[in-house]
Structure 1
Amino acid sequence: MERAAQARHLTITAGLSARACAARAELPPGTRSLLLLSPHEPAFWPAFTASPEWADGAPDPMDRWSTRVIGAWADALGATPLYPFGGPPFAPFLAWALASGQVHSSPVGMLVHRGMGLLASFRGALALPWAVDLPAPLPSPCEGCAAPCRTACPVGALGGPAGYDVPACKTHLRGPQGAPCLTAGCLARRACPAGAAHGRIAAHSAYHMRQFLGDT
């Protein structure tokens, strides 16, 4: 399954077992495994920007790419594709990721993964009608970490008692001092040691920052 995912420029980064799936009423009936799919870095961005969805100029190219690629794979497997977009209601990808034991909550509130660090993201999931052997849960990479993510944000928009200060973040990004975050990705995310070798291309992060601001 992982080889097949990588052939589609994706990677399986978390999953739920048959027992875990049986306890989740929001999953399609008969789901015995759930596999969460993330971009396979650094191959994902060049593949995506060579796609028809990127070239056609229509809105939401990455969501449409995900629907086409993951949907076709699901059809071939007899699985049900699920996506973190297209709502409301939205599928609870964050809850699924945390329940997997492969993804954890970080000191700044974002999800953190041992391979992706704070650059953890999901393009979709496969709800499979058969059981898949999954790796054992792993401890959080934040255990024993000095947490440079806490102080990396220039305007302190993350990790405060009130949660994520979205207005402060967007104001910073729109000003000249926000260029490092806007062009290469959130400094707090990039400060995470767990994601240092992840391979995310700066242009990929910049795309998401523009989407966040609404500057498409």
Structure 2
Amino acid sequence: MAADLPERAAAALARSGLVLRGGLNFEPGEPRPPGPGGAPAAAVLLVGNVGAGYWPVFTRWLDRQATPPADPLDQWSRAVIARAAAQVGARVAMPSDRPFAPFQQWAMRAGRLKPSPLGLLMHPRYGLWHAYRGALLFDAPLPGTVRPGPDGPGGHPCDSCAAKPCLHACPVAAHTAADFAAAACIAHARGPRGGACARQCLARDACPHGRAWRYPAEVLAFHQRAFTGA
């Protein structure tokens, strides 16, 4: 039954460490990707991680690969979400798929989140230590409003953070209110003085909110290598 689709999808994801991150029914006339039947999808459930609960499962999978794949986290996430999709009659959408789907806009609507000064979405419980890995698309609307769970959003922590340490921690001031200088960030991380930045984003790590969910050092280093190539 459609009413229990979120619960069934969550159960299908449970052993992977990935979780449902909320969902929404699309508005009439809203641009949207196709659902499993080929027509524009009527609803979406977002899938991702909170903290690094997925990491042990992902690394065990990675250790079993004869040849390290390109974009391994994307490939593993796609396989995990595809298995869940098969159980609930959904189509998989990934942030890396083209044409790019508006994952951040979906997440802001589904979870009532807002961006931090770094551009990453701030969660009132998890801080910046969460992510969206993919989505399940459905042909029919989901009954009711799909919430991200009992730990759902409250106020925006950035609104009450006067110091904004995230904006002052980057050695090359790559983050500003208007933009993110990705080229400067990557060049520094790859350079002779970029050791700390090659291991983690110092700006992200400076945020005081949600520290209990901070990624372990090996997870931080994995994501930073993927971004900077350092």
Q: TM-score, normalising length from structure 2?
A: 0.79
Matching residue within 170, 189, 205 for 2:186: 170
Any idea what SS the aligned residue of 1:134 has?
coil
Cross-structure match for 1:111: 121
Cross-structure match for 1:61: 72
Any idea what SS the aligned residue of 2:168 has?
helix
Amino acid at match of 2:195: A
Amino acid at match of 2:194: G
Pairwise CA distance, 1:108? 2.7
Cross-structure match for 1:41: 51
Cα pair 1:105 1:111 within 8 Å, conserved: yes
Cα pair 2:46 2:136 within 8 Å, conserved: yes
Deviating more after overlay: 138-147 vs 70-79: 138-147
CA distance in 1, matches of 2:69, 2:42: 36
Cross-structure match for 1:131: 143
The C-alpha deviation readout for 1:110-133, integer Å capped at 9, x for no partner, is: 322223322342110112333354
Cross-structure match for 2:4: none
- Overall identity of the aligned pairs, in %: 36
Pairwise CA distance, 1:30? 6.7
Matching residue within 165, 170, 174 for 1:148: 165
Any idea what SS the aligned residue of 2:218 has?
helix
CA RMSD of aligned residues (A): 2.5
Any idea what SS the aligned residue of 2:46 has?
strand
CA distance in 2, matches of 1:141, 1:109: 14
Cross-structure match for 2:31: 25
Cross-structure match for 1:157: 174
When residues 192 and 58 of structure 1 are mapped into structure 2, their CA distance, relative to the original with a 3 A threshold, is: same
Cα pair 1:34 1:126 within 8 Å, conserved: yes
Deviating more after overlay: 63-72 vs 112-121: 112-121
CA distance in 1, matches of 2:145, 2:84: 19
When residues 15 and 137 of structure 1 are mapped into structure 2, their CA distance, relative to the original with a 3 A threshold, is: farther
Cross-structure match for 1:85: 96
Cross-structure match for 2:23: 15
Pairwise CA distance, 1:173? 0.5
Structure 2 residue 228 is the aligned partner of structure 1 residue 213: yes
Cα pair 1:54 1:61 within 8 Å, conserved: no
Pairwise CA distance, 1:164? 0.5
Structure 2 residue 207 is the aligned partner of structure 1 residue 192: yes
CA distance in 2, matches of 1:187, 1:166: 14
Unaligned runs of 5+ in 2: 1-6
Cα pair 2:85 2:136 within 8 Å, conserved: yes
Aligned residues: 210
Q: Which has the larger radius of gyration?
A: 2
Cα pair 1:45 1:201 within 8 Å, conserved: no
Pairwise CA distance, 1:142? 1.2
Cα pair 1:13 1:102 within 8 Å, conserved: no
